[in-house]
Chain A
Amino acid sequence: MPPLRAPWRYLLPFALLAGTIARAQEPGETIEVEGERPKGSPRAPAAAGTVIDTAQFGGEVRSVAEMLLASPGVSVHALGGPGQATTLSLRGASADQSVVLLDGIPLQGPGGGAVDLSTLPATLLDRMVISRGVLGAQFGAGALGGAVELLPRTGRQTWSGGAELSGGSFGTGRLALDAAMPAGNGTAVVALQGDRTDGTFEYARQLTPEIPGSPSYGFTRENADSTRGSGLLRISQDLGGDLGVDLLLQGSGGLRGLPGPSSAPTPRSRELDESGVGGVRLRGGAGDVGWSVRASGRLDRVELRGVRSFGDCDDGAPDCPRDDQRSSNVGAEGELAIALGEANALQLRLAGGADRIHGSGTGAHQRGVLSASIRDDAALPANFSLHPALRFDSIGADAGLSPALTAAWKPAAKHPLTLRAGWGLSFRAPTFSELYLERGGIAANPDLRPEHAWSVDAGAEWRTGLLTLSASAFWSSYRELILYQLFPPAQVKPFNVGEARIAGLELQAVVPLPARFLASLSYSFLDAVNRLDGHKLAYRPPHRLFARLARQGERVEGYGEVSFTSALPRNAFDTAFVGSQVLLNAGAGVRAAGPVWIDVEAKNLLDDRTYEDLFQYPLPGLSIAVIARARL
């Protein structure tokens, strides 16, 4: 555990922000709050949800994972510093149990499971919508913790664009460019993002942790560099009448070191990854009927170099072959929306396709995927709304139904208060990796069965303009969980052996303040229990708090934030824990000339270099970045 710091240090980012507060009240500045905070996902009405507008992080070097931390119910697991693999957990579910969609197209990792958030370019996104709960009926089998919808930048009827250049500690830099323009009978947007980092940060470890007060020693993180390029093209065209067509192409490629845990570094292991997503959608409608059909495809490739089951090796040596793994998906879907009078809106969706994987660790496999779903959005008397949904998914040999029912009530049509409740039941089919991956001390298990879960939740929300106050409580039950277990003599293998109960509480407040300040706070409580033995589930933080005070003015901007994660179990027997972590970040910027802003931000202001992730990957201490950006 890091030594307790003086309490005043926790106030440091807010003290720094005080400077911008003073400047914010300079004469001549416009102070106004506009607009209304967008609501949740239209695919999951009345589900617990949070919308994150990426524009609120302008002037900050943010990854997708860092932005998601602003939402309650979200935990991210980062394997080290910038550019390293990062996965998502919603409501204590595993990364494989969280669905991530880019403009409605499901993303998957190379093994068919968890998405590495570090490969997703943050500046190409407009918004992120987080929906929490067992939402298989709304988002498809696999959404046992919920879903994150990534909404990319959209085109405009006038030319606009932006550029961002940043550089800072550990040789970290980013260049991002985007342009939106009219094109033909519609719009187009092009966006590019390049990131790099040397990753050579200093960290500290106690070498003899059993000895109270023994010193921490300094180390330099090696082989943690990362270089990544990403691009997005989105075109929308009106074809006359109510017809329209949308094209989306997104690609990302990167090369990074795989530094390994601090207890067993791997200075020679590298990873090359490439991914691409494409989709074309034709949409139309007439009267009370709207429809769309879409074809989409996804390709992911990961090549591991110098990676061994226990340690690393020299890439290119005869006994150190590269491990190339590719996965892909092609699919088509059709959606029909029918308004049945004033009170009912029916959504019908039919989708089919195929998942494929090919790699030296998995062999070649493919499976068909088919889904059909129906949902009704019913407006009932007395301002009740009801949203029953049912979805059938067939994934290879596994098939099942996912029913859900959510409901909402408002005292009056325009009343700021909404009470909501929901129930959902679904399953997750085993990933290709779980079924077939034989590599690096991991054994395959082709006999795995799907996981199953159901959850119930209820909450209240008060929303007026930018003010949002919400609270949700949930209770989830999981069975036949796929868990990797030690498999003698020296492997781990996935088995359907887990049963869990996860309950929790989520609070969120977004409060507009005078002088264009915005305060936001999210808090999550998790009680995750192994139902077989009563022990806590490992790696689930019972408490997580995120608080932020930000100002976005016309000349001056700034923010200060604190992110707290409580101690969490490291093993399955409640006897080992990862210590609590407090991260303070702050930044401030000014409009230097015209549309050009210059910002400075500092992360981990306490410079605590003893933090590690769940698997002993060190996290960086204090880092400073300078960001220049312009938007026309």
Chain B
Amino acid sequence: MKKLALLTLVAACGGKYQAPPPVSSIALPDGSQLKPYDPSKPGKARPQGLEQAAGRVYVTLSNQRDTDSFPVNAGPGFLAAFVASTGAITLVDLGGADGQQCQNPGFVRASADGRLYTPCSGDFSGTDTARAIVEVDPVANAVTRRAAIPAGRVPNGVAITANKIWTGDAFSTTVFSIDKSSFSADASDPVPVDCAKSVFSYVADVMAIRGGLYALCGSDISGELYQLNPDTGAVLAHVTVGPNPTELAGLDDGRIAVVNAGDNTLSLVTSSSAGLTAQKALTFSSETAALQDVRAFGHILFTAASGSNTAQRIDLDAPGGPKVIGEANFGPGSGPYNILPLDDTQAIVSNRGTNTIAAANWVTVK
């Protein structure tokens, strides 16, 4: 009985668990560095998209200020260019002379010729002038062109094909294009890319993969991956993936990986002359929450989950099928939103919650 009481006392006094390991990260510019419209109301970086170009890592900064309701744009959108070897950060102001020509940039993608393109969603009203597709020269770290978005549309996702720049609509299930030469929105009607819904549906992303164009429709109960003609947008094929898909990634073998936030799964889509076929390749742990991104490096996939503050490293060739072989945690409240593989063992994430970027220190399956 005494022993039991002693054990109980020891247990009650703590010491059963180690303190969590420290997480190293790099803080992104904040506050006055982001040219707030009202100096008394500065924004936070709220980083999102990641891309590599000209030897640097680029991350979009939404530059938003929290309120007691919906976050508001506190200043122009930015790209932060980060040199991994030195930690140096250079800001690229996307807002133009008046600071109003790009707000709330989310994605950033590089074209084959090394240019960067980022869609700016503005205030999500679909009527403001801060909605745009912005082209950036990463060598000069300067904006080179800006395409206005037609009224009623909010750009979401960006795909750079040979002649067009495609983007989706955050408030409808359509995609539309920007002519790459004139850098203005095409007059043609938006292309529907619907998916079954109960409450909401939208275009989660569009992406150019191995010369093809793909659009991902997400809804509260379903998801649909579309293969489109990269010049006309005509639907070539489509397939149902999981509910509420958030991102897609092209593999070097032609397959496409899709993360489905609704049911916490990974789908693998195969393209053939018969069309697209999808299979659920992996169900994540119950503790992994809010899958936001997927990227590929060879047959290694990297995923980010903002709800659980984690990133996963997945071996598609593992015996028995795709398997999580490594995982990293970026700390409470970090909210990793996007992930960028540097090779098949290293990746960095943009932490939207803590306004940092961090390298994944993988805990690996033994």
The 9 A-B pairs with the shortest beta carbon distances in the complex, nearest first, are A218-B17, A573-B263, A209-B287, A207-B329, A208-B327, A217-B20, A576-B286, A485-B199, A210-B324
B262 within 8 A of A: yes
A6 within 8 A of B: no
Is B40 in contact with A318, judged by CB distance below 8 angstroms?
A: yes
Is A263 in contact with B221, judged by CB distance below 8 angstroms?
A: no
Contacts A218-B16, A485-B198; A307 near B324 (Cβ below 8 A): no
What's the Cα separation between A602 and B4 when bound, in Å?
13
What's the Cα separation between A321 and B353 when bound, in Å?
21
| Chain A 297-337 residues near chain B, CB threshold 8 A | 307-311, 313, 318-319, 321, 323
The residue from A211, A219, A573, A622 contacting B363, defined by CB atoms under 8 A apart: A211
Interface size range on B against A:
35 or more
Is A487 in contact with B66, judged by CB distance below 8 angstroms?
A: no
Contacts A204-B16, A319-B41, A575-B264; A209 near B288 (Cβ below 8 A): yes
Set of chain B residues within 8 Å of A169, measured between Cβ atoms: 12
A577 within 8 A of B: yes
Q: In the complex, given contacts A202-B17, A622-B8, what are 9 additional A-B residue pairs having Cβ atoms less than 8 angstroms apart? A: A202-B14, A210-B324, A217-B19, A309-B71, A310-B353, A318-B41, A441-B69, A490-B70, A577-B286
Minimal beta-carbon separation of B117 from chain A (angstroms): 20
Is A573 in contact with B243, judged by CB distance below 8 angstroms?
A: yes
B86 within 8 A of A: no
Closest to A318 in B: B40
Is B220 in contact with A486, judged by CB distance below 8 angstroms?
A: yes
What's the Cα separation between A621 and B16 when bound, in Å?
11
Is B66 in contact with A311, judged by CB distance below 8 angstroms?
A: yes
What's the Cα separation between A208 and B326 when bound, in Å?
9
| Chain B 5-44 residues near chain A, CB threshold 8 A | 8, 11-12, 14, 16-21, 40-41
A527 within 8 A of B: no
Contacts A210-B284, A495-B199, A577-B286; A440 near B69 (Cβ below 8 A): yes
Closest to A264 in B: B333
Is B324 in contact with A211, judged by CB distance below 8 angstroms?
A: yes
Q: Could you write out 8 A-B pairs with CB less than 8 Å apart?
A: A216-B17, A219-B20, A264-B309, A308-B68, A439-B69, A497-B199, A621-B11, A624-B8
| Chain B 53-81 residues near chain A, CB threshold 8 A | 65-71
Closest to A320 in B: B68
The residue from B67, B70, B124, B262 contacting A319, defined by CB atoms under 8 A apart: B67
Using CB atoms and an 8 Å cutoff, list the residues of chain B in contact with chain A: 8, 11-12, 14, 16-21, 40-41, 65-71, 121, 124, 170-171, 198-200, 202, 220-221, 242-244, 262-265, 283-289, 307-310, 312, 324, 326-329, 332-333, 335, 353, 363-365
Interface SS of B by simple majority:
loop
What's the Cα separation between A483 and B219 when bound, in Å?
15
Is B332 in contact with A264, judged by CB distance below 8 angstroms?
A: yes
Closest to B201 in A: A488
Is B8 in contact with A207, judged by CB distance below 8 angstroms?
A: no
Closest to A216 in B: B17
What's the Cα separation between A219 and B66 when bound, in Å?
27
What's the Cα separation between A321 and B41 when bound, in Å?
13
Minimal beta-carbon separation of A422 from chain B (angstroms): 32
What's the Cα separation between A209 and B327 when bound, in Å?
8
Is B14 in contact with A310, judged by CB distance below 8 angstroms?
A: no
Using CB atoms and an 8 Å cutoff, list the residues of chain A in contact with chain B: 169, 202, 204, 206-212, 214-219, 262-265, 307-311, 313, 318-319, 321, 323, 360-361, 438-441, 485-491, 493, 495, 497, 532-533, 570-579, 602, 605, 607, 609, 621-624
What's the Cα separation between A208 and B365 when bound, in Å?
10
Interface SS of A by simple majority:
loop
Set of chain A residues within 8 Å of B70, measured between Cβ atoms: 309, 441, 490-491
Minimal beta-carbon separation of B186 from chain A (angstroms): 24
Set of chain B residues within 8 Å of A219, measured between Cβ atoms: 20
What's the Cα separation between A497 and B66 when bound, in Å?
30
Is A607 in contact with B65, judged by CB distance below 8 angstroms?
A: no
Closest to B7 in A: A607
Contacts A309-B69, A485-B220, A622-B8; A210 near B200 (Cβ below 8 A): no
Is A218 in contact with B285, judged by CB distance below 8 angstroms?
A: no
What's the Cα separation between A204 and B19 when bound, in Å?
9
Is B265 in contact with A486, judged by CB distance below 8 angstroms?
A: no
Is B285 in contact with A265, judged by CB distance below 8 angstroms?
A: no
Is A497 in contact with B363, judged by CB distance below 8 angstroms?
A: no
Is B67 in contact with A308, judged by CB distance below 8 angstroms?
A: yes
The residue from B18, B202, B288, B333 contacting A311, defined by CB atoms under 8 A apart: B333
Is B66 in contact with A532, judged by CB distance below 8 angstroms?
A: no
What's the Cα separation between A87 and B202 when bound, in Å?
34
What's the Cα separation between A608 and B288 when bound, in Å?
21
What's the Cα separation between A319 and B170 when bound, in Å?
28
Is B199 in contact with A319, judged by CB distance below 8 angstroms?
A: no
Set of chain A residues within 8 Å of B11, measured between Cβ atoms: 607, 621-622
What's the Cα separation between A609 and B40 when bound, in Å?
43
Closest to B263 in A: A573
Closest to A579 in B: B286
Closest to A308 in B: B66
The residue from A202, A207, A211, A570 contacting B364, defined by CB atoms under 8 A apart: A211
Minimal beta-carbon separation of A445 from chain B (angstroms): 11
Is A440 in contact with B199, judged by CB distance below 8 angstroms?
A: no
